[in-house]
A = this chain, B = another copy of it.
């Protein structure tokens, strides 16, 4: 056969567009597919063995037909997202057999990335850390934290920083960037275990469980009696509503995500946006896909931090494509403790 012997290629397929809360059954494990482990003769394609899949909140947006954030998932086709992979075969001079790469591919054991291979399929050269880190702290979520905090929020030493979803893939890093900048940093998360880790392992100045706060506005007033200079927004809705009256004059809100809103049929209305006026607050949304020109700079910064042992990072890894649907759904109940990764194959 032209493409070499066919092997089994398990896949996680997207069933159909949804509204409301996603369920495991919105995804289907398919065990019937096969794939050849060679790229077609004379092609410029790349054949990947996928090692790690990334679960990220924005993926929920792609399950709705009207999504504008990314291309929608295609019913009957594999879920797609960020992966870390090994190159098994390549007709493309930029990639060699044995390279490790990270980028966008399907939730499947093997992916054929057809020509033109997107430049967003990046070769991994720094391997002093686990390869899975390229789904998180050294991948899209890491760059997201770097751009949203260090670049857009204009942080200064001594400022007060609040990070919601502080134990998520992005939040973990934002909190540490803020501490290294010399800020006072408080994070929120959804369980005692996460809160304890934020305080004791990540060294935040304080942390709280938002589920145990009947009045979020009052809670924030307690942690920030002089106001919040920077809010790193991962949650939206009622959390943002509680933050607005607690912002300090000339505060900045980096709007990275709004996970509380993605499953709602009717998004929460946020009142009192006039606080933006009275306190001269800048609220800036961003989509990291516009900022990949900063990735080399980000990697230099991160390599130095890793060499200096300045970073802590917690992953929550499940094994096998079979576990993938539950892992993705778990993001929206906060089941994961740290960055949610799916290990598909051994390196």
Chain A residues proximal to chain B, CB less than 8 Å? 68-69, 236, 240, 250, 255-258, 261, 266-287, 290
Contact = CB atoms under 8 A, between A and B. Distances in A.
Contacts of A276: 255, 283-285
Q: How many copies does the complex hold?
A: 2
A258 B273 contact: yes
Looking at A258, A277, A280, which has the most chain B CB atoms within 10 Å of its CB?
Answer: A277
Contacts of A286: 277, 280
Contacts of A272: 267
Nearest to A266: B271
A75 to B, nearest CB: 22
Nearest to A267: B271
B290 A285 contact: no
A287 B278 contact: yes
A23 to B, nearest CB: 22
Contacts of A69: 277-278
Contacts of A284: 276, 280-283
Contacts of A270: 269-271, 273
A69 B250 CA distance: 14
Contact of A281 (B269, B280, B285): B285
A276 B236 CA distance: 11
A150 to B, nearest CB: 17
A268 B268 CA distance: 11
Contacts of A271: 266-270
Given A69-B278, A280-B286, 15 more contacts: A69-B277, A255-B276, A268-B269, A269-B271, A270-B270, A270-B273, A274-B285, A276-B284, A277-B285, A277-B286, A277-B287, A278-B285, A282-B282, A282-B284, A283-B285
A283 B283 contact: yes
Nearest to A283: B283
Contacts of A274: 236, 258, 261, 267, 285
20 contacts: A68-B278, A69-B277, A69-B278, A240-B273, A250-B290, A255-B273, A256-B277, A258-B273, A267-B272, A267-B273, A267-B274, A270-B271, A276-B283, A276-B284, A276-B285, A277-B286, A278-B287, A279-B287, A280-B287, A281-B284
A285 B275 CA distance: 8
A290 B249 CA distance: 10
Nearest to A251: B285
Contacts of A240: 273
A125 to B, nearest CB: 29
Nearest to A257: B277
Most buried by B among A236, A267, A276: A276
Nearest to A247: B285
A266 B241 CA distance: 13
Contact of A236 (B261, B273, B279): B273
Contacts of A278: 68-69, 285, 287
A315 B282 CA distance: 32
Contact of A277 (B255, B266, B277): B255
